[in-house]
């Protein structure tokens, strides 16, 4: 009698499982889309904050008010005030300008140098790949990234623009490596051979056939690096090589609050929260773009 | 003008001479151990215009490497490949690129050989535009026509590769090869990945296109029945070399080389008296350690001492029937 029961059980399982699986899949896809949309909305919000900062900020972000030092969040100062009595909400709104600029431009620099170099390196191989580009990236990766960024920023001189260039250069080898590795994997695929056999030019094979297929990992890496760049800018600012006071930047604000963490935790909490939210939403948004670009998931 | 004789000598479209393709394998610490895979080892043959030359051999015998070396997708180690009298191995990349208009390839894997990120229409149109097959303004309708010729619908133009079945994808691959109006198509295991019923459809399509466009095929396969179906002449490869070459009728009726005789004797017969089977023992030797003498002697049931010492020449045993065996 055991066997028929078993059979009916397997039959049931076979019938139920595909349904459940399908529902789970579409649900998780929906959730993922929702997250990506939320991430996108927050990114747009940050951009709006940055662009319209002078209109949105309730106070002058650099104006010191010694009567309002270290005030906790209240109706007038939503996020409280810092050691010099400056309104934290206004500073965060203006800080979005600096932080977004630092994150996007430095990663932009890394992308524009890194992807072409990495792709050429991986596609053509040979002397330039093996002995020049790869060895230079090895040398750059051998340094701790913050130390390298510090050195570069120190050589260039303290300013936000120089800090962005330094961060961009420090991130470049990661993109070279990643692009090269992905191209190496793709160039062995048969569709690349087929494109070559069709007599297409190397440039168009790289741009139209290989590039779209390596884009996914690059987007993920780029969004992760935007987050790291915001933090790197914060670190450089903390060390005095990035944004110069009194210009507000989230990283610098985070650092300023360090000494008052027990008395006035809001000085650090709010900029930290914004860094965190910006980083997460950029990551989720990037992930969404990645899925959106994949024709198989449409 | 030249006066042509009654039965004109068939024109050779492709001639391969002493083609070799070796791969170096580095092993051990800093690559001190050094070995060579002799994937294609001294292969010579020619293909006449308008015929189908079938290349048959088991997996790993160097068929595909040979195909890729002929197309210069991999640079041959040595030897020459003449296409309509032009030496392909000495051409620069740019010159080869232009010649690819005349020599095309259909790849084995219908899933890997199509770019997943672009629509098939875009892919075909790019090829057509690169080689200026038709005017840019006409290329879309040209590509749609092409899709219909290989048995697909015009409306598939905007679809991605993953939306098609294996057989349909292979039709797309054929359309891609056909797009530039080539003279020679190398079909590298073009039907191996497909079901038998779909295989037949694709083979019939290839035959039809051959007639319509006066194509020449170099048809590479491991399947004797497929080769028998499509080929005019057949070459049998074993371990990087051609061991027998003759017209289809001749080679299947009167095989000379023990390797082919053994393969043919393994085909089951229906409603016919049992024939004697030639059983091959052992495995194919590795192309890294190729046996001395005749490379088939380790598995040949008729091997003599001579076979272990002397490499048999690939010579004409009968009119148009070539074989590499001391005793054939």
What string of H, E and C letters represents the secondary structure of chain B? CCCCCCCCCCCEEEEEEEEEEEEEEEECHHHCEEEEEEEEEEEEEEEECCCEEEEECCCCCCHHHHHHHHCCCCCCCEEEEEECCEECCCCCHHHHHHHCCCEEEECCCCCCCCCCCCEHHHHHHHHHHHCCCCCHHHHHHHHHHHHHHCCCCHHHHHCEHHHCCHHHHHHHHHHHHHCCCCCEEEEECCCCCCCHHHHHHHHHHHHHHHHHHCCEEEEEECCHHHHHHHCCEEEEEECCEEEEEEEHHHHHHCCCCHHHHHHHHCCCCCCCCCCCCCCCCCCCCCCCCCCCCCCCCCCCCCCCHHHHHCCCCCEEEECCEEECCCCC
Mean pLDDT of B191-207: 90
Residues 6+ apart with CB under 8 A from B282: B298, B299
Do A166 and A239 contact (CB within 8 A), yes or no?
A: no
Name which of B94, B111, B115 to mutate to probe chain A: the one with the most chain A Cβ atoms within 10 A of its Cβ: B115
CA distance B284 to chain A (A): 27
pLDDT score, position A296: 67
Placement of tokens 């491991």 in the chain: B222
Task: Compute the nearest-CA separation of A189 from chain B (Å).
Answer: 7
Q: Which residues contact B166 (CB under 8 A, 6 or more apart)?
A: B110, B111, B193, B194, B195, B198
Paired sense of beta strands B216-221 and B233-238, if any: unpaired
Look-up of token digits 């043919």: B264
- A194:B105 CB<8 A: yes
Tokens of residue A179, six digits: 């692009």
B112: contact with A, CB 8 A cutoff: yes
Q: Rounded CA gap, A190 and A280, in Å?
A: 37
Q: Give the whole-angstrom CA distance, residue A99 versus residue A259.
A: 22
Q: Which residue of A has its CA nearest to B126?
A: A200
Average pLDDT, chain A: 82
Q: Per the domain annotation, does A231 fall within a domain?
A: yes
Handedness of CA B81, B86, B87, B91 (dihedral sign): negative
A200–B115 C-beta distance less than 8 A: no
Minimum distance, in Å, between the CA of residue A292 and any CA atom of chain B: 12
Mean pLDDT within B255-279: 85
Instruction: Say which CATH number the domain at A226 has.
Output: 1.10.3720.10
Q: Is A201 helix (H, G, I), strand (E, B) or coil?
A: coil
Q: What are phi and psi of B282, to 5 degrees?
A: 75, -175
* Residue A5: pLDDT over 70: no
CA A63, CA A85: separation in Å to the nearest integer?
A: 8
Q: Are A25 and A297 in contact (CB under 8 A)?
A: no
For residue B7, the model assigns a pLDDT of 58
B73 in contact with A, Cβ within 8 Å: yes
- The domain tally of chain A equals 1
Tell me: pLDDT of B49 over 60. yes
- Rounded Cα distance between B267 and B277, Å, is 9
Confidence of residue A100 (pLDDT cuts 50, 70, 90): confident
Nearest CA in chain A to B158: A295
Q: Which of B117, B120, B146 to mutate to test the interface with A (most CBs of A within 10 A)?
A: B117
Given an 8 Å threshold on Cβ–Cβ distance, is B130 in contact with A204? yes
Interface residues of A toward B, Cβ cutoff 8 Å, are 189-191, 193-201, 204, 208-209, 212-213, 295-296
Distance CA B47, CA A169 (A): 56
Write out chain B residues lying below 8 Å of A206, CB-based: none
How near does any CA of chain B get to the CA of A50, in Å?
A: 35
Q: Does B71 touch chain A (CB under 8 A)?
A: yes
With CB atoms and an 8 Å threshold, state whether A193 touches B73: yes
Q: C-alpha distances in angstroms, B116 versus A119, A208, B161?
A: 19, 11, 6
| A3 in a structural domain | no
Domain count, chain B: 1
Residue A14: pLDDT over 60: no
Residue of A nearest to B160 (CA): A295
CA angle, residues B68, B10, B323, in degrees to nearest 5 = 60
B221-241 pLDDT, tens digit per residue, is: 999 999 999 999 999 999 999
Is B97's Cβ below 8 Å from some Cβ in A?
A: yes
Dihedral over alpha carbons A108, A112, A115, A118 (to 10 degrees)? -120
Is residue B304 in some structural domain?
Answer: yes
- Is position B147 within any domain? no
Average pLDDT of the segment spanning A69-76: 79
| CA distance readout (Å), B26 to B32, B38, B104 | 7, 14, 33
More confident of the two residues B53 and A78: B53
B115 contacts A191? CB cut-off 8 A? yes
CB atoms within 10 A of CB A24: 10
Chain B hits for A193, Cβ within 8 Å: 68, 73, 107, 113
Measured CA to CA, the distance from residue B131 to residue A252 in angstroms comes to 58
Neighboring chain A residues of B162 at a CB cutoff of 8 Å: 295-296
The domain of B93 spans 12-102+182-323
- Tell me if B2 is assigned to some domain: no
Residue A38, judged by CB atoms within 10 A of its CB (0-12, 13-18, 19+), counts as: middle
Mutate to test the interface with A, among B71, B113, B133, B146 (most CBs of A within 10 A): B113
Q: Does B173 contact A194 at a Cβ distance shorter than 8 Å?
A: yes
Measure A257 CA to nearest chain B CA, in Å: 49
CA proximity to B213, closest of B170, B184, B172:
B184
User: Biggest alpha carbon distance in chain A?
Assistant: 87
**H or E stretch at A55:** helix A53-56
Q: For residue range B139-191, list pLDDT tens digits in order.
A: 999 999 999 999 999 999 999 998 999 899 999 999 999 999 999 999 998 89
Q: Searching chain B, which residue's CA lies closest to the CA of residue A188?
A: B112
Does A295 sit within 8 Å of B113, measured CB to CB?
A: no
Examine the pLDDT at A292 and tell me if it is beyond 80: no
The domain of A119 spans 101-298
Tokens, residue A208: 């139209």
In B, which residues are within 8 Å of A212 by CB distance?
115, 117-118
Structure tokens at A224: 């992760």
Contact indicator for B166, B111 with CB cutoff of 8 Å: yes
In the numeric block, the tokens 């998931």 are attached to A297
B132 to chain A, any CB pair closer than 8 A? The answer is no
Neighbours of B198 (CB within 10 A): 18
Query: In which residue are the tokens 């040209």 written?
Result: B142
Under 8 Å between Cβ of A189 and B112: yes
Alpha carbon distance B220, A235 (integer Å): 62
Nearest to B162 among A199, A208, A296 (CB): A296
Name the band, by pLDDT with cuts 50, 70 and 90, for residue A15.
very low
Tally of residues, chain A: 298
Q: Does residue A72 lie within any of the structural domains?
A: no
Closest in B68, B117, B127 to A200, CB measured: B127
Total residue count of chain B as it appears in this document:
328
Contact A150/A236 with Cβ under 8 angstroms?
A: yes
Cα(A87)–Cα(A84) distance, rounded to whole angstroms?
9
* pLDDT given for residue A298 in this prediction: 52
Residue B125 lies in a domain: no
B191 part of a folded domain? yes
**Which residues 167-206 in chain B show a CB within 8 A of chain A?**
173, 176, 179-180
The per-residue pLDDT for B322 is 92
What mean pLDDT is predicted for residues A159-180? 92
Angle at A94 between CA A89 and CA A99, to 5 degrees: 110
Contact in structure between B247 and B51 (CB atoms under 8 Å): no
Assess whether the previous peptide bond of A246 is cis (omega < 30° from 0).
yes
Collect all residues of chain B within an 8 Å Cβ-Cβ radius of residue A208.
Answer: 118, 126
Which of A189-193, B99-103, B267-271, B323-327 is predicted least confidently?
A: B267-271
Is B116 an 8 Å CB contact of chain A?
A: yes
Residue A183: predicted pLDDT: 94
CA angle B199, B203, B208 (to 5 degrees): 150
**Is the Cβ pair B130, A200 closer than 8 Å?**
yes
Residue B116 has pLDDT above 70, yes or no: yes
CATH number where B214 lies: 3.40.50.300
Q: Which residues of A touch B160 (CB under 8 A)?
A: 295-296
In a domain, B189, yes or no: yes
**For residue B134, is it within any domain?**
no
Q: Which residue has the higher pLDDT, A65 or A296?
A: A65
Q: Let me know if residue A33 belongs to a domain.
A: no
Q: Residue B275: what pLDDT? A: 76
Q: Lowest-confidence range among A163-167, A203-207, B33-37, B311-315?
A: B33-37
Other CB atoms within 10 A of residue A92 CB: 24
Domain annotation covers residue A127:
yes
A197 vs B130: CB contact, 8 Å cut-off?
A: no
What does the pLDDT read at residue B232? 94
């Amino acid at each position: 009698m055991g066997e028929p029961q078993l059979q009916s059980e397997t039959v049931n399982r076979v019938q139920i499982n595909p349904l459940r699986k399908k529902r789970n899949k579409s649900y998780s896809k929906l959730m993922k889309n929702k997250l990506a949309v939320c991430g996108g909305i927050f990114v747009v919000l940050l951009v709006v904050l940055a662009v319209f900062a002078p209109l949105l900020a309730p106070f002058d972000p650099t104006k010191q008010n010694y009567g309002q030092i270290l005030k906790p969040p209240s109706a007038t100062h939503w996020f409280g005030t810092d050691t010099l009595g400056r309104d934290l909400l206004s500073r965060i709104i203006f800080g979005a300008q600096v932080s977004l600029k630092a994150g996007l431009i430095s990663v932009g620099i890394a992308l524009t140098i890194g992807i072409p170099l990495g792709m050429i390196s991986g596609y053509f191989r040979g002397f330039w790949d093996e002995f020049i580009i790869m060895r230079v990236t090895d040398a750059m990766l051998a340094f701790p990234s913050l130390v390298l960024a510090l050195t570069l920023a120190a050589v260039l001189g303290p300013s936000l623009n120089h800090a962005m260039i330094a961060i961009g250069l420090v991130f470049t080898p990661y993109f070279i490596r990643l692009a090269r590795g992905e191209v190496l994997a793709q160039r062995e695929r048969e569709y690349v051979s087929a494109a070559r056999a069709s007599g297409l030019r190397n440039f168009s094979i790289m741009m139209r056939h290989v590039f779209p297929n390596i884009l996914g990992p690059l987007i993920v890496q780029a969004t992760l690096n935007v987050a790291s760049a915001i933090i790197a800018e914060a670190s450089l600012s903390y060390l005095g090589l990035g944004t110069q006071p009194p210009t507000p930047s989230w990283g610098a604000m985070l650092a300023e609050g360090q000494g008052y963490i027990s008395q006035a935790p809001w000085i650090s909490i709010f900029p930290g929260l914004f860094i965190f939210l910006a980083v997460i939403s950029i990551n989720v948004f990037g992930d969404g773009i990645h899925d959106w670009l994949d024709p198989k998931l449409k | 003008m030249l006066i042509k004789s009654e039965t004109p000598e068939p024109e050779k479209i492709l001639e391969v001479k002493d083609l070799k393709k070796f791969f170096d394998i580095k092993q051990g610490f800093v690559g001190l151990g050094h070995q060579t895979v002799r994937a294609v080892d001294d292969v010579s043959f020619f293909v006449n215009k308008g015929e189908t030359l079938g290349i048959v051999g088991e997996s790993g015998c160097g068929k595909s490497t040979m195909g890729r070396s002929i197309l210069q997708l991999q640079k041959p180690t040595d030897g020459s490949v003449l296409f309509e009298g032009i030496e392909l191995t000495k051409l620069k990349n740019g010159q080869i690129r232009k010649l690819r208009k005349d020599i095309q390839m259909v790849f084995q894997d219908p899933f890997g050989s199509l770019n997943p990120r672009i629509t098939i229409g875009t892919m075909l149109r790019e090829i057509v535009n690169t080689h200026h097959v038709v005017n840019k303004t006409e290329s879309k309708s040209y590509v749609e026509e092409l899709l219909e010729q290989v048995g697909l619908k015009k409306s598939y133009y905007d679809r991605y590769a993953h939306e098609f079945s294996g057989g349909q994808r292979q039709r797309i691959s054929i359309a891609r090869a056909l797009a530039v109006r080539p003279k020679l198509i190398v079909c590298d295991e073009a039907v191996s990945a497909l079901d038998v019923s779909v295989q037949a459809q694709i083979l019939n399509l290839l035959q039809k296109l051959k007639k319509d466009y006066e194509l020449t095929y170099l048809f590479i396969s491991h399947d004797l029945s497929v080769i028998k179906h499509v080929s005019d002449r057949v070459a049998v490869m074993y371990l990087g070399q051609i061991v027998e070459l003759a017209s289809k009728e001749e080679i299947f009726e009167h095989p000379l080389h023990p390797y082919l005789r053994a393969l043919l004797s393994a085909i089951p017969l229906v409603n016919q008296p049992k024939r004697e089977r030639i059983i091959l023992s052992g495995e194919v030797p590795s192309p890294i350690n190729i046996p001395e003498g005749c490379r088939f002697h380790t598995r040949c049931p008729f091997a003599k001492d001579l076979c272990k010492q002397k490499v048999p020449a690939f010579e004409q045993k009968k009119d148009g029937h070539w074989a590499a065996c001391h005793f054939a």
